[in-house]
Amino acid sequence: MNTTRLLCCLGYILLAPFIGGLLDGIDRKLSARMQGRTGPSILQPFYDIIKLFHKQIFLVNHSQFFLVGSYLVFVIFSGALMFAGYDLLMSFFALTTAAMFLVLASCSTHSPFSAMASQRELLQMMSYEPMVLLACVGFYLATGSFQVSDIIQSNLSPIVFLPGFFIGFVYILTIKMRKSPFDISTAHHAHQEMVRGVTTEMVGSLYAITQIAEWYENVMLLGIVALFFINGNPISWPLAILGVLFVYFLETLIDNTTARLKWSKVLSSAWLVTLLFGGLNLLVLDLMIKYR
């Protein structure tokens, strides 16, 4: 068992940036096609990262390197925990710590845009944290364990017990993946009032590191989506991958068909969805367990 864990962990650490970058490229291509354009090549994100590492940096603020580096380390740590089959709750807390480092990095500059955007990032975190925690609780109730290695061995796919949680999770995935209508703190396009948001003052290799961290994070989040589908039966794995691809397509579609909302709307709608779908599901699940 230990070798499998180690292999999965290493596999995540080594392969996730490539998978993440490829997914980013597919997203850009798909968005372009939805807008009637040709779009860049699927490998474009990799070309961009290479170019970013070649840029010369004139930095006034050296603490940013440490903070952004910590952000990357914690994201990799949380993903590695999950893929190695350990505690789901623990990996989410690690992810939250990573996000805090990003906020600190953007606060550490003197730019008013970064400062305001980090406030928005904190508001974003307030919007999605409840749902994320509830989803972990849901997995526990459905499969009896917080350990990922146990969850993937369950008899039925967790989604059978957790449809509400699934919907809620996909809703806040839009926030976490920084897609319209919830791209209030930073987006892939710089056409918003916060300029580039939390990453406004990050240039060159610094920005490249945040991009790579974002890829690690995306792969981990999509891994959680897959977790809803995977059960002890090996046939569930390709189905899970299909499910993940469908959710990713849905995110791109939503990104291209909505305008950006204001932070108050993001917060209120996220909590509403959490209470409605997550809360109801939790109630039903609780009753089912009590009266089984």
Count of residues engaged in binding another protein, rule: CB under 8 A: 29
Binders in 15-54 for another protein, by CB under 8 A: 31, 34-37
Say how many C-beta atoms besides its own lie within 10 A of residue 242's C-beta. 12
Name which of 147 and 200 has its Cβ closer to another protein. Answer: 200
**Among 113, 121, 291, which residue's Cα sits nearest to residue 202?**
113
Out of 260, 271, 275, 284, the residue judged to bind another protein by CB under 8 A: 260
Candidate ranges 60-68, 90-98, 137-145, 250-258; the one touching another protein (CB under 8 A): 250-258
Name which of 190 and 272 has its Cβ closer to another protein. Answer: 190
Is the Cβ–Cβ distance between 255 and 182 less than 8 Å?
no
Name which of 2 and 35 has its Cβ closer to another protein. Answer: 35
Name which of 117 and 225 has its Cβ closer to another protein. Answer: 117
Candidate ranges 41-49, 89-97, 181-189, 214-222; the one touching another protein (CB under 8 A): 181-189
Report d(CA 285, CA 289) in Å as an integer. Answer: 6
258 is an interface residue for another protein by CB under 8 A: yes
* DSSP label of 259: P
**Among 198, 212, 185, 201, which residue's Cα sits nearest to residue 266?**
185
Report d(CA 30, CA 143) in Å as an integer. Answer: 36
Name which of 197 and 243 has its Cβ closer to another protein. Answer: 197
CB of 273 to another protein, least distance (A): 15
85 is an interface residue for another protein by CB under 8 A: no
Dihedral sign for Cα atoms in the order 90, 95, 96, 100: positive
Dihedral sign for Cα atoms in the order 53, 248, 255, 184: negative
* DSSP label of 60: S
Is the Cβ–Cβ distance between 210 and 117 less than 8 Å?
no
CB of 257 to another protein, least distance (A): 7
118 is an interface residue for another protein by CB under 8 A: no
257 is an interface residue for another protein by CB under 8 A: yes
CB of 61 to another protein, least distance (A): 18
Residue whose entry in the numeric block shows the structure tokens 């959680």: 224
Please report, for residues 15, 45, 211, 213, the alpha-carbon distance to residue 50 in angstroms, rounded to integers and kept in the order given. Answer: 17, 9, 12, 15
Name which of 90 and 115 has its Cβ closer to another protein. Answer: 115
**Token output for 273:** 């969805």
CB of 165 to another protein, least distance (A): 24
CB of 112 to another protein, least distance (A): 5
Q: Could you list the residues that contact another protein (CB under 8 A)?
A: 31, 34-37, 112-113, 115-116, 180-181, 183-184, 187, 189-193, 195, 256-263, 265
